[in-house]
Amino acid sequence: MKPTLISNLRKGLFYFFEKRSYSMQSTLQFVLSYSCRQYSSYKKYIDYSKVPVLKESDLYEQFVKGSGPGGSKINTTSSCVVLKHIPTGLIVKCQKTRFLNQNQSIARELLLTKLDNLLNGNDSVESQKKRLAEKRSLTCRLKKEKLKQMKETWKERESVT
């Protein structure tokens, strides 16, 4: 039983053995399930040159008591961070963790993302990632449609119902 190369999809070679027990339908289902996996990262396609720089002098930081689930540890300590960017007036409140220093760094990241979206619009990092994800999902959908059409033509050619 020699392996037969069916397709070279996304950095991987998928080999299938020539056996009578394998049907074309199960083979195509296998190929469809693995054809749209993403292994590459977005980092090499994204332009980070326009991301604004946060200056500490432009920030007003305030620590307030948190609320919600977490018990007395959350309700009695001031671990919630409120950051305000003074030039633009953007405000971010962060209480994702119980720890103040983690909430500070998360709040700065959120503020930077908001500021980037405000200043750069369609050129912001978030919108670039969204465009790349839409493009990849489109190519994935087109591959699936092509494989489905190949399956239909094979069924017609082999007169399989």
Q: Confidence class of residue 48 from pLDDT cuts 50, 70 and 90?
A: confident
Under 8 Å between Cβ of 136 and 38: yes
Among the listed residues 111, 51, 49, the one whose alpha carbon sits nearest the alpha carbon of residue 86: 111
pLDDT in tens, 71-123: 777 778 888 999 999 999 999 999 998 889 999 999 999 999 999 999 999 99
Residues of the chain with CATH 3.30.160.20: 56-123
State how far the Cα of 73 lies from the Cα of 68, in Å rounded to an integer: 11
pLDDT in tens, 2-36: 444 343 333 333 333 333 344 444 444 444 444 45
CATH number of 56-123: 3.30.160.20
Whole-Å CA distances, 91 to 32, 59, 73, 108:
45, 10, 25, 11
CA 90 from chain center: how many Å? 25
Q: What are phi and psi of 15, to 5 degrees?
A: -105, 140
pTM: predicted TM-score of the whole model, two decimal places = 0.64
The owner of tokens 């990262």 is: 41
Among the listed residues 7, 54, 68, the one whose alpha carbon sits nearest the alpha carbon of residue 32: 7
Please say if the pLDDT value at position 160 is more than 90. Answer: no
Structure tokens at 70: 């977490």
pLDDT at 23: 45
pLDDT at 98: 85
Bridge partners, residue 16, by sequence: 4
Bridge partners, residue 20, by sequence: none
pLDDT at 37: 52
